[in-house]
Structure 1
Amino acid sequence: MAKQDISIETQDGTAAAGLLLPDRTTSRAGVILYMDAFGPRPALDRMAERLVSEGYAVLVPDLFYRFGDYGPFDAKTAFSDERTRGELMGMIRGTTQDMTRRDTAAFIAALTDAGVTGRIGTVGYCMGGGRAITAAAAYPDRIAAAASFHGGHLAGDAPDSPHLHAHTIKGRVYVGSAGVDGSFPPEQSARLAEALRRAEIDHVIENYVGMAHGWAVSDHSVYDERGAERHWTRLLTLFDETLR
């Protein structure tokens, strides 16, 4: 399952991405993995490889491509260093949900060009969690499942908050939240649940008690192996039930 480094033309420029394809060529299902704040790196490649081992074609795009060369960022120390924290926060704020929504049309096209003619699932971590849900709302005819893990600001006050577009989702939604997470407090969880329920979306919002923001990604300082395996069980079940 060799990773291919590809370039994807979007409305705003050229995004680098990793494309991983399963050994068997009969798969028609694909997954877009939306990165966390630290960008594409080996930890995310390993997560993509696990999805590929289940038979999915996987795309891991660089959402920060508009900033040119950057990083690499160390997930354990980037936010504790004043310089890199400022750089990261600027890039996060400068990459809006709407930008990623537009980019996703090109991401879907890249998977289609790679042979993914069937259903697509999205999964995102941290800042990527909301983008996975936003993508499902923007492209409901292709995206059959969306999962967010320790995603932040899923039902905030911003005009592009993911919960505001829940009514256009056709697929299933799974949200795994960190036990206590300032970026996704209980009031946002309740707001998201109401939006999804009113839209009659098949969904689950699950609280991972004791897990900290970032627990599912192996190079985070708060990585928790048992919690990560629980996340894999939920994610693979979701995709198995929706994408096959």
Structure 2
Amino acid sequence: MTKQDLQIKTRDGVARAGLFRAANASPARAGVILYMDAFGPRAALDGMAERLAGEGYAVLVPDLFYRNAPYGPFDAKTAFTEEKTKTALMALVTGTTQEMTISDSGAFLDALAPQGVTGPIGTVGYCMGGARALNAAATYPEHIKAAASFHGGNLASDAADSPHRKAASIKARVYVGTSGVDRSFPPEQSARLAEALRVAEVDHVIENYVGMAHGWCVPDHSVFDAAGAQRHWKRLTTLFAETLI
């Protein structure tokens, strides 16, 4: 597996990103943008990107918090239980708006083409990245053919930038994996998202992972669940195999 460090020029500065590919393989035309969770780029996300790259994709993991770099690092197991790091994290999350990431995503897509990634693109996001993966699909439908969210929060909230409001612009196939109980994506939001996607005639699945807690997919989370994570990998790789062709 190879990792290439990129510096991507955006409207607001320069975002660092890792581009992962399988070694000794044909150059990947199809790409995946992995939108990070609240704890930022780190070894756990690198490992997840490597796993996706092993499926034959070029996988980009950008730093969405680059406007506030340097920051962290954060320990995903304890960062929200310690007041100092919780305050710092929440400032990063709330200070990095959906509109910022939507704009950045155009630069991320532009950065992939010179790397030979000229085919279809998939997006996947975890936690705060889930809504960003869906909003990217709505904003760049000519490029993004599949979009997945796992334990994503506020996918159908009252906010103006909530992804469900842009359902009519999505041309990608959508998969949403939800925690069994998740205050950031309660049942009423799930129902609202399902209705918006159905009315917009978006090919989609919303699946409830009963018994899983928010963060179950990511290996350095305190609530990581190996069986639930494996189920998520099956769903994600199937989604991309069927769409990024």
Q: Name the amino acid aligned to 1:55.
A: G
What is the rounded CA distance, in whole Å, between the counterparts of 1:75 and 1:180 in structure 2? 19
- Paired positions, count: 244
Match of 1:122 in 2: 123
**Deviation at 1:112?**
1.1
- Secondary structure in structure 2 of the residue aligned to 1:206: strand
Q: For residues 140-179 of structure 1, what are the alpha-carbon distances to aligned partners after superposition, in whole Å with 9 as ceiling and x for unaligned? A: 0000000000000000011101110110011100000000
> Match of 1:139?
140
Q: Does 1:3 align with 2:3?
A: yes
Aligned to 2:235, the other structure's residue is in SS state: helix
Aligned partner of 2:43 in structure 1 is 42
The one-letter code sitting in structure 2 at the alignment partner of 1:22 is A
The answer on 1:237 being equivalent to 2:238 is: yes
Give the TM-score, by structure 1 length.
0.99
SS at match of 1:217: coil
Match in the other structure for 1:149: 150
Q: Distance in 2 between matches of 1:31 and 1:196?
A: 22
Partner in structure 1 of residue 22 of structure 2:
22
2:27–2:116: 8 Å Cα contact kept in structure 1?
A: no
Q: Letter of the aligned partner of 1:77 in structure 2?
A: T
> Identical aligned pairs, as a percentage?
70
Residue 120 of structure 1 aligns with an amino acid whose one-letter code is: I
Q: Determine helix, strand or coil for the equivalent of 2:191.
A: helix
Give the TM-score, by structure 2 length. 0.98
Partner residue in 1 for 2:99: 98
Following superposition, which runs of at least 4 residues in structure 1 exceed 2 angstroms of deviation?
A: none
Counterpart position of 2:52: 51
Residues 57-206 of structure 1 mapped to structure 2, 5 A cutoff:
57-206=58-207
Offset of 1:13 from its aligned partner? 0.5
| CA RMSD in angstroms, aligned pairs only | 0.7
Task: Give the conservation status (yes or no) of the 8 Å contact 2:2–2:22.
Answer: no
Which blocks of at least 5 consecutive residues in structure 1 are unaligned?
none
The whole-number CA distance in structure 1 between the counterparts of 2:113 and 2:170 is 20
Shift of 1:26: 4.0
Distance, in Å, in 2 between the alignment partners of 1:21 and 1:174 is: 24
Per-residue deviation, 1:27: 2.3
**Partners in 1 of 2:36 and 2:161 — Cα distance?**
19
SS in 2 for 1:227: helix
Matched residue of 2:145: which SS? Answer: strand
Q: Deviations over 1:13-61 (max 9, x none)?
A: 0001011123323421000000000000000000000001000000000
